[in-house]
Structure 1
Amino acid sequence: MKLIVLDRDGVINEDSDDFVKSVEEWTPLPGSIEAMARLSQAGWKIAIATNQSGLARGLFDSHALDAMHVKLQRLVAEQGGQVDLIVHCAHGPDDACDCRKPSPGLFRQIAQHFDLPDLKGIPVVGDSLRDLTAGLVLGCEPYLVRTGKGERTLQKPLPEGTLVFADLSAVVHHLLQE
């Protein structure tokens, strides 16, 4: 199975230090929706793993989050693609859960959903170290994008073997050329 795991904010859509709190604030990055559709059309399964601590902080509710994800799925579908799974962590940074990245809980949920023992060799695309670190526990291959917090992340030591790309569209181009 060809599977990819994507972070959401800063990879697929614009990120904000003030949080993306509504469907109106949820704005796709240029080329990201089309890139996801191209992957899907090429037979890839697309999973999204996203920390959404704005829920725990009371900045938005589950209805607003669902609306953002419906918009994302609709936009990809309009381009002829499909998002196969979206998992999120609703906890805050001090909640000591296993699902908030860099913990691997969301990645375990993805592996379980697709009936996989691990995610060895599966690309994980993120704009922060916590995105990449969470996937490494289950054997994912790290891909960093320069969008979102990616430029800041490049100033830190990256996991061994991390591939760096301008954006999600460049990652997809690379994967589909292999």
Structure 2
Amino acid sequence: MKRPAVFFDRDGVLNEDHGYVYEISKLKWIAGAREAVKAANDAGYLVFVITNQSGVARGLYEEHHVQALHEWMAGDLARIGAYIDAFEYCPYHPNAVIERYRKVSHRRKPAPGMITDLLERFPVDISRSILVGDKPTDLEAARAVGIRGLLFSGGDLAKLVRSVIDPKKNVSG
């Protein structure tokens, strides 16, 4: 059975974006972010994080830092009974200082590769799914696969998410 999904950008949507967030001690959740994830979980939606992480390509941090931060985020969400079904990130950038990360990638937003990779692995109902991002490139990625994109410009993320998902609907069919 296909289920709707909420695709969240990370920096600027789930956590405050103060430039290349990779240290657990520097992550600050956006108001209502954890509650937004929990609301989507409770409504039966799949929940994904899709994030460009060019800081890896720029040599500012390494992939294991991104993975450790995502593990910490998952643990913190679990404390309120919330979870992310999958975290996806793109470490590539065409102007990378680290050669192995210097390339144009189908996974780097605005390209939809992270989304299409998730669509291959999970039974997602595209017609009932949404992407929440804070940049036009996020919305471009959503448009490329036919998912409704919502521009988040601050405030309470849970309020926005609750306004677009219907927990009363049977999302399993």
Q: Verify same fold: TM over 0.5.
A: yes
Q: Tell whether the 8 Å contact from 1:73 to 1:83 is kept in structure 2 after alignment.
A: yes
SS of the counterpart of 2:164? Answer: helix
- Counterpart mapping for 1:19-168 below 5 A: 19-94=20-95, 95-116=103-124, 119-147=126-154, 166-168=155-157
Q: Distance in 2 between matches of 1:145 and 1:167?
A: 9
Letter of the structure 1 residue corresponding to residue 140 of structure 2: T
List alignment gaps of at least 5 residues for structure 2. 96-102, 168-173
Letter of the structure 2 residue corresponding to residue 96 of structure 1: V
Q: Indicate whether 1:173 and 2:162 are aligned.
A: yes
Letter of the structure 1 residue corresponding to residue 9 of structure 2: D
Q: Distance in 1 between matches of 2:165 and 2:129?
A: 14
Task: Return closer, same or farther for 1:121/1:92 CA change in 2, 3 Å cut-off.
Answer: same
Q: Decide which moves more: 133-142 or 62-71.
A: 62-71
Task: Return closer, same or farther for 1:44/1:121 CA change in 2, 3 Å cut-off.
Answer: closer
State the shift of 1:2 in Å: 2.3
Offset from partner CA, 1:78-100 (integer Å, 9 cap, x none): 11111101111010244211110
Higher relative contact order (CA 8 A, sep 6+): 2
Offset from partner CA, 1:92-137 (integer Å, 9 cap, x none): 2442111100011111111111145x83441010000000100111
Q: Distance in 1 between matches of 2:13 and 2:137?
A: 13
Instruction: List structure 1 segments (4+ residues) > 2 angstroms apart after TM superposition.
Output: 118-121, 175-178
State the shift of 1:38 in Å: 2.1
Question: How many pairs align?
Answer: 158
State the shift of 1:51 in Å: 0.3
SS of the counterpart of 2:7? Answer: strand
Q: Tell whether the 8 Å contact from 1:121 to 1:139 is kept in structure 2 after alignment.
A: no
Q: Percent of aligned positions with the same letter in both sequences?
A: 31
Letter of the structure 2 residue corresponding to residue 112 of structure 1: E
State the shift of 1:42 in Å: 2.1
List alignment gaps of at least 5 residues for structure 1. 148-165
Flag the structure with higher helix content.
2
